Amino acid sequence: MGVRTMVVKLLEMYGDEMATRVHARSPYGLTALDHAARDGHMDNVRVLVPIHPSPAAPFSHIHYLSKALIQGIENIEITQSLIAAGADVNFLLLAAKAAPNSHDRAIPIFLAIHLSNLPTVRALIDAGADIHIRDSECHHVLRCCRNIELLRFFLERGVDPNNAYPGGSTTLHFFCAERGTNDEQFVELLCQFGAAPERANGDGKTAVDVAMDCRIPKFVRALEPFVRDPGRKARIAEWLEEQKQQKRLKPSVEADNLA
């Protein structure tokens, strides 16, 4: 007997208690649909999706579907099925759609971005997901991208690379401080879409300053073509030359220390 057949038989056995049993939550707060979505059981998702909660339940059918969407976000087929059934792709945002519920960071589009899952991101946006939102730590979608095509996808759809955080820093500032996390393509792409390398944050630091302070020459070189101020360009050239000199001297210093 297949798992789906077993689920159907159990539902039949519940009789009048079926809706109550289906919408009951485990100690982890998950329904049977949540578990089916999380574990990738599409057949069971199809069986459980149409079952509405009882009128006395403290949550709606949309809430039921939307929580399952969060659990099943890794599976594009389940994601599309739940969206088609009525799941809210902006689930857990405040009513104004301006900010997330600070008690739960599991907003569908951010989950898909963290997974670098472009097909799921597309499905969510096609269904109305807001690309201009921020999570409970005030990150917007560009800051969370770790895939160059995903970053390009959002930039092409008009997400502003100069959106500032409360301290005045932009995504470019943050990327230029992250050694080993991103490569220079991310920095170049942000600048190609209008990110301002000479824009200062609340501490008076530009993205160029951040890259220099963190001693990441590849980011400084990537930013240089987008810098307009002649004085800053000259400073960049001087700094890059200093880095070359230090790199040449380093093997000699290490050899002297070993002597």
pLDDT tens-digit profile of 82-102? 999 999 998 876 543 445 544
Q: Which of 60, 87, 114 is the last residue of a domain?
A: 87
**Does residue 18 contact residue 53 with C-beta atoms inside 8 Å?**
no
Q: Is residue 211 assigned to a domain? A: yes
Which among 44, 38, 86 is positioned nearest to 63, based on CA atoms?
Answer: 86
What is the per-residue pLDDT for 195? 97
Please indicate, yes or no, whether residues 175 and 118 belong to a single structural domain of this protein: no
The lowest-confidence range among 23-27, 43-47, 237-241 is: 23-27
Q: Quick one: average pLDDT of 200-219?
A: 95
Please indicate, yes or no, whether residues 28 and 78 belong to a single structural domain of this protein: yes
Please indicate, yes or no, whether residues 186 and 250 belong to a single structural domain of this protein: yes
pLDDT tens-digit profile of 108-132? 999 999 999 999 999 999 999 999 9
The residue that leads in pLDDT, 78 or 9, is: 78
Q: How far apart are CA 169 and CA 162, in angstroms?
A: 9
What is the per-residue pLDDT for 161? 96
Q: Is residue 154 assigned to a domain? A: no
Q: Is residue 69 assigned to a domain? A: yes
Q: How far apart are CA 48 and CA 38, in angstroms?
A: 13
Q: Quick one: average pLDDT of 157-176?
A: 94
Number of domains in the chain: 3
What is the per-residue pLDDT for 94? 53
Q: Is the pTM of this model over 0.85?
A: no
Asked if the model's pLDDT at residue 250 lies above 50, the reply is yes
Asked if the model's pLDDT at residue 11 lies above 80, the reply is no
**Band of pLDDT at residue 251, cut at 50, 70 and 90:** low
Q: Is residue 215 assigned to a domain? A: yes
Helix crossing, 76-85 with 61-71: angle to 10°?
170
Residue 65: both structure tokens together: 């579907």
For CA atoms 114, 118, 119, 120, the dihedral sign is: positive
Q: Is residue 123 assigned to a domain? A: yes
pLDDT tens-digit profile of 49-84? 988 877 777 678 898 899 999 999 999 999 999 999
What is the per-residue pLDDT for 32? 86
Please indicate, yes or no, whether residues 202 and 166 belong to a single structural domain of this protein: yes
What is the per-residue pLDDT for 223? 97
Asked if the model's pLDDT at residue 259 lies above 50, the reply is no
Output the domain CATH number for residue 195.
1.25.40.20
Residue 11: both structure tokens together: 């539902």
* Residues in the chain, overall count: 259
SS3 content of the chain, % helix, strand, coil (to 5): 55, 0, 40
Q: Which of 36, 68, 87 is the last residue of a domain?
A: 87
Q: How far apart are CA 11 and CA 151, in angstroms?
A: 44
Q: Is residue 133 assigned to a domain? A: yes
Q: Which domain holds residue 15?
A: 1-87
Asked if the model's pLDDT at residue 180 lies above 60, the reply is yes
Q: Is residue 185 assigned to a domain? A: yes
Q: Is residue 155 assigned to a domain? A: no
**Band of pLDDT at residue 217, cut at 50, 70 and 90:** very high
Q: Quick one: average pLDDT of 186-200?
A: 97
Q: Which of 87, 115, 139 is the last residue of a domain?
A: 87
